[in-house]
Amino acid sequence: MLWCNGDSRERYGYQPYQVEISFEFDNKNGKVTKIGKKGKYNNLGYILSGGFVQGKRSHYVVPEMNTESGAIEILQDDKETYIDDLLLTKKADIGEGGVVKVKKEFEFFALPEGNEKKPVFYIKTDRLHFGFTPYLRMFYSKSILDGIPERYKDIEGISYTDGIFGFINKPYKKNGEIKNYSYKSRVSFEDAEVIGEAKVDSESTMQILLAEPKPTSYNLYLEQDKNANKKNLDIYEKNFTIRGFKQYWLKDYVENLGLEDSKAQNMKFKIHPLKEGTKFKGKIYFDNLDEEELGLLIWALKLDENCYQNIGLAKPYGFGRVKVKDIILNIEDLDKKYNSFNFDYYEKADLDKYINIYKDNFSKKNLNSRKIDEQKPVEELMLIKSKVVKFEDANYYRYMEIELVQAKGRKVNEFRYMNVLPEILEYEKLTKDFRGKNSSKQKKGNNRSRKNKNNRSNWQTHNNLMAQAFNKAKKEKQKRKKK
């Protein structure tokens, strides 16, 4: 193993590599003493190093292949899992004909082709884990779908969602037997077009990162013991449960994350949002929906009073908050349509009538007449769709950071602690309690322009509520241990 300066690797556009070499090895001390071109020294092999990480300084020397040790078979399923991981981590794309093509800058991680030879690191457990660096990504034995509780999978019949939007070749259980079925959608959507002139908000035009949810953040996406330390968290093994649907807090400000100098060039994307207050208009057509299905469709659009929808790109930054209103429900009068020459056969209908039909019937059939509005998942959804975070509270609802600047310029990586994400209702209570106790410390003066709201430095050094919530849970755990 060799050493080099990590900063210079980044400065000069370092790329992962592997090169055939020859080398001398001191068996007594277990060290490589000399490295040169192939044929210069007694031992043949490779020198390699993976992708750049700040502070990483290792290069690895691997001896040539030992043909007498026997081959280890890599199963086709494991190859496909590895290729899926290349796609997930943006190291490869799907090209013409569905062929996976590794990007040029990541060819180091490509599987060998034909008679090509490449050093491979591996770990053998109940399956073979392999990669091209010593710190390889290990495969989980289960998929995310295994984390869905059986009560959601072992059911008969068709869900409201599938019944409204349709499905193709989907397995359903009928009379205890599972078969594949297809069913066409009974709704169609027009494009929602801008009313008047569409104006781009140049002040909010910015670069964002096209990041995706990372399954490896299992502390966030799986149900966890709130008091567990990072070594005892559930992962995608044994019995685990996914937490549910990901939602974003609505914001009345736009975060500018200062990505102009960011090095993640392949993940950058420039957005050109329309001005705040832009209005759209569109139509939804439905056919043969029963009253319950129609009520659910309307409720899903309208939600409760003072609720918003959150659509499009850049939702975590504060974009995409829209209000669906002025909904007009027109229902065909079939008697007029088919028994007269009257072409005015649409009649306006009451939205709440159908919403209440859905709620009442669902409660009776599935909740023993308990109100659906009082169920925890619905309460959480309506809260996060109605609460609009103000700028002065921004620090309570921000993302964790790799380099959070604290007092005296000290930087902290908040991800390293693998903190468990609080639930929506739980966290809302924590923030209220915290604000009540610290209201006297709040800074005055909230009359900021939108331009000033884009400046995150105003709130980066505020008290971190998340940290306090986690510390509180830690202290409670310690108290229980003492008892």
Amino acid at 279: K
**pLDDT greater than 90 at residue 226:** no
The owner of tokens 């140049």 is: 202
If you ran DSSP here, which 8-state letter would residue 250 be given?
E
Q: Which two tokens stand for residue 305?
A: 């009073």
Residue 206 pLDDT class (50, 70, 90 cuts): confident
What's the pLDDT tens digit per position in 341-370? 778 889 999 999 999 999 999 999 999 999
Q: Which two tokens stand for residue 373?
A: 């509005």
Q: What is the pLDDT of residue 138?
A: 85
Q: What is the pLDDT of residue 198?
A: 93
Residue 1 pLDDT class (50, 70, 90 cuts): very low
| Residues 6 or more apart whose Cβ sits within 8 Å of residue 38 | 20, 21, 22, 44
Q: What is the pLDDT of residue 447?
A: 40
More confident residue, 179 or 264: 179
The dihedral over CA atoms of 30, 33, 39, 42, expressed in degrees to the nearest 10, equals -50
**pLDDT greater than 70 at residue 327:** yes
Cα–Cα distance between 300 and 293 in angstroms, integer?
Answer: 11
pTM for the full model?
0.74
**pLDDT greater than 50 at residue 202:** yes
**pLDDT greater than 60 at residue 78:** yes
**pLDDT greater than 80 at residue 69:** yes
Q: What is the pLDDT of residue 483?
A: 52
Report helix, strand or coil for 295: helix
**pLDDT greater than 50 at residue 451:** no
Instruction: Give mean pLDDT, residues 409-429.
Output: 86
Q: What is the pLDDT of residue 468?
A: 53
Instruction: Give mean pLDDT, residues 210-216.
Output: 76
Q: Which two tokens stand for residue 423?
A: 């639930």
Instruction: Give mean pLDDT, residues 418-430.
Output: 88
